[in-house]
């Protein structure tokens, strides 16, 4: 035996290394142990949960979704009553979440961009005010802001009879916000179609103009003609229908407003809180994005004869958007996740409805799992978009 070993030195050195000194083997053992520990802990928690549920005689599974919900939802985009199933209640809650997130994201980008640009203004007063806004709204918890705005509605605003009217046709009272909207008319439907057709037309026009510019070097005014098409086309349809101008104006009837558009105090407070809070973060992102593009870029673009709007469109924006979009997307996701705080002020968003469901059925595990899956889905969707976008705009380096 000893002879064999001395004859083959390579096999000897391989054999004599104990497995805990071999990184590859050690890694396998280490991973196996980790995996086993995680699996055992999960199994332990799972069996505990099952026994506990049995002991408290709580049902498991998702059968409760078909049962009658037996609770009302304050506002809903789809028709819903207490006689509907839990599934429909949760769907209504989900749509409410999407509604506040969608409107919130649009308003946040608008307000955040304005404040971000104001922060960079050469006007000292405007720049300082924007800085104060950013610092102030970033430093106060979003939940406190939501509760504050909601309290403004029920504590400080008058009843519908003495409603404030800051602009003609817009009323503010402790029952929420009411404003005038056009009376529904078939023309609106056709105007929407005209707008969609206009959008497609502008896209076609843009690709045609680009092709022509590549071939002949002539520049076609895409922006101004595009705006003209997008506004002019629906306008022509509107005029074609005899220009219906009837407005539905909110009027006081009984204890509340009827007619016009009524927005609940919960929704308004939630939207206001989310937009004001997130806009402060978006403003910082926009500012950083614009500042990251050096001044030399603007000067170089102007010196080769580009007009100011061309400089912005062709040189500055493509570069700052590359910096702005990724953090902006994560702020949008933050806004969506923060909208779950609606549960604190009674806006029936998905979490709020799921919470009521948990309280009524006692099926906490399923309820929480649904909440997590829904938000995880949004967040994975967002990161998928972000990866796609990053790939699309990544610098092509030589």
Partner 1 sequence: MQNNSKSFDIQADKIKPPITSVGIIGWLKQNLFNGVFNSILTIVTLFFLWKVIPPLLQWIFIDSLWLTTSAECRSADGACWSIITQNYRFILFGFFPYESQWRPLSAIILLVFLLLISRNRKLWNKMLLYAWIAGLLCMAVLMKGGVLGLVSVESAQWGGLPLTFLLAVFGLTAAYPLGVLLALGRRSKMPVIRVLTIIYIETIRGVPLVSLLFMSAVVFPLFLPEGITVNKLLRAQMAIILFTAAYIAEVVRGGLQGIGSGQYEAAASLGLNYFQTMRLIILPQALKIVIPPSVSILISAFKDTSLVVIIGLYDILKTTQSVLANPLWMGFSTEAFLFLSLIYFICCYAMSNYSRQLEKELATK
Site residues for partner 1 per CB under 8 A: 27, 30-32, 34-35, 38, 45, 48-49, 51-53, 55, 121-126, 129, 135-136, 138-144, 147-148, 151-152, 155-156, 337-338, 340-341, 343-344, 351, 355, 358, 364-365, 368, 371-372, 375-376, 378-380
β strands within the chain, DSSP E: 164-167, 170-173, 176-179, 181-182, 247-248, 251-253, 256-258, 261-263
Find the shortest distance in angstroms from Cβ 197 to partner 1: 37
Closer Cβ to partner 1, 70 or 376, answer by number: 376
Q: Are 246 and 182 in contact (CB under 8 A)?
A: yes
State the minimum distance, in angstroms, from the CB of residue 294 to partner 1.
Answer: 18
Residue 50, sorted as left (phi over 0), alpha (psi -120 to 50) or beta, turns out to be alpha
Nearer to partner 1, 169 or 362 (CB): 362
CB 268 within 8 A of CB 75: no
Closest approach, Cβ 15 to partner 1, in A, equals 22
Q: In the complex with partner 1, which residue's Cβ is closer, 98 or 181?
A: 98
Residue 321 contacts residue 24 (beta carbons within 8 Å): no
Minimum separation from the CB atom of position 232 to partner 1 (A) = 29
Tally of CB atoms within 10 A around 188: 15
Q: What is the spatial distance between Cα 192 and Cα 383, in angstroms, rounded to a whole number?
A: 31
319 or 340: CB nearest partner 1? 340
Neighbour tally for 311: CB within 10 Å: 18
Least distance to partner 1 from the beta carbon of 44, Å? 9
Nearer to partner 1, 199 or 343 (CB): 343
Listed in sequence order, the residues at least 6 apart from 159 whose beta carbon sits closer than 8 Å to its beta carbon are 173, 174, 175, 255
Q: Rounded to an integer, what distance in angstroms lies between the CA atom of residue 137 and that of residue 282?
A: 12
What is d(CA 387, CA 97) in angstroms, rounded to the nearest whole number? Answer: 25
* CB 127, CB 114: distance < 8 Å: no
Shortest Å distance, C-beta 352 to partner 1: 10
SS3 371: helix
Q: How far is the CB of 193 from partner 1 (least distance, A)?
A: 38
> What is the number of residues in the chain?
398
φ/ψ of 351, rounded to 5, equals: -65, -40
Whichever of 203 and 372 has its CB closer to partner 1, that residue is 372
Of the two residues 237 and 332, which places its CB atom closer to partner 1 in the complex? Answer: 332
- Segment (H or E) for 23: helix 23-55
- Beta carbon nearer to partner 1, 22 or 251: 22
Q: How far is the CB of 282 from partner 1 (least distance, A)?
A: 16
Nearer to partner 1, 123 or 310 (CB): 123
CB proximity list for 149: less than 8 A, separation 6 or greater: 268, 269, 272, 273
CB of 82 to partner 1, least distance (A): 23
Task: Give the nearest distance from C-beta 292 to partner 1 in angstroms.
Answer: 16
Reported for 63-66, long-range contacts at CB under 8 A and 24+ positions apart, including other chains, are: 64/357, 64/361, 64/363, 64/366, 65/90
Separation CA 169–CA 256 (nearest Å): 15
Give the nearer residue to partner 1 in terms of CB position, either 125 or 395: 125
């Amino acid at each position: 035996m000893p002879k064999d070993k001395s004859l083959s030195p390579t096999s000897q050195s391989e054999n004599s290394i104990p497995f805990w000194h071999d990184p590859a083997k050690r890694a396998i053992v280490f991973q196996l142990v980790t995996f086993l520990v995680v699996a055992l802990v999960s199994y332990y928690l799972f069996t505990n949960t099952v026994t506990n549920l049995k002991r408290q005689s709580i049902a498991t599974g998702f059968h409760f979704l078909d049962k009658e919900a037996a609770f009302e939802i304050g506002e809903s985009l789809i028709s819903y009553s207490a006689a509907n199933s839990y599934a429909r209640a949760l769907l209504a809650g989900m749509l409410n979440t999407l509604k506040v997130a969608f409107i919130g994201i649009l308003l946040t980008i608008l307000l955040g961009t304005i404040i971000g640009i104001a922060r960079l203004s050469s006007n000292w007063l405007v720049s300082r005010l924007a800085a104060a806004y950013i610092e102030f709204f970033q430093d106060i918890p979003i939940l406190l802001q939501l509760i504050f705005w909601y309290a403004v509605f029920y504590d400080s605003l008058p009843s519908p009879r003495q409603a404030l009217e800051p602009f003609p046709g817009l009323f503010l009272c402790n029952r929420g916000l009411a404003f005038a909207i056009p009376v529904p008319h078939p023309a609106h439907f056709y105007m929407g179609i005209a707008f969609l057709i206009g959008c497609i037309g502008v896209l076609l026009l843009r690709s045609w103009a680009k092709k022509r510019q590549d071939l002949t070097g002539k520049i076609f005014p895409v922006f101004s003609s595009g705006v003209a098409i997008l506004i002019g086309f629906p306008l022509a349809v509107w005029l074609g229908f005899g220009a219906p101008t009837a407005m539905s104006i909110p009027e006081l009837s009984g204890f509340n407003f009827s007619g016009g558009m009524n927005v609940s105090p919960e929704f308004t407070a939630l939207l206001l809180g989310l937009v004001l809070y997130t806009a402060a973060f978006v403003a910082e992102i926009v500012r950083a994005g614009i500042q990251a593009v050096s001044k030399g870029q603007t000067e170089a673009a102007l010196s080769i004869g580009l007009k100011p709007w061309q400089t912005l469109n062709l040189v500055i924006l493509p570069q700052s958007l590359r910096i702005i979009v990724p953090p902006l997307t994560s702020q949008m996701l933050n806004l969506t996740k923060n909208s779950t705080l609606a549960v604190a002020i009674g806006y029936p968003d998905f979490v709020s409805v799921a919470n009521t469901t948990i309280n009524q059925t006692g099926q906490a595990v399923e309820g929480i799992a649904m909440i997590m899956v829904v938000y995880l889905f949004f967040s994975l969707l967002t990161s998928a978009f972000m990866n796609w976008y990053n790939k699309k705009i990544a610098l092509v380096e030589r």
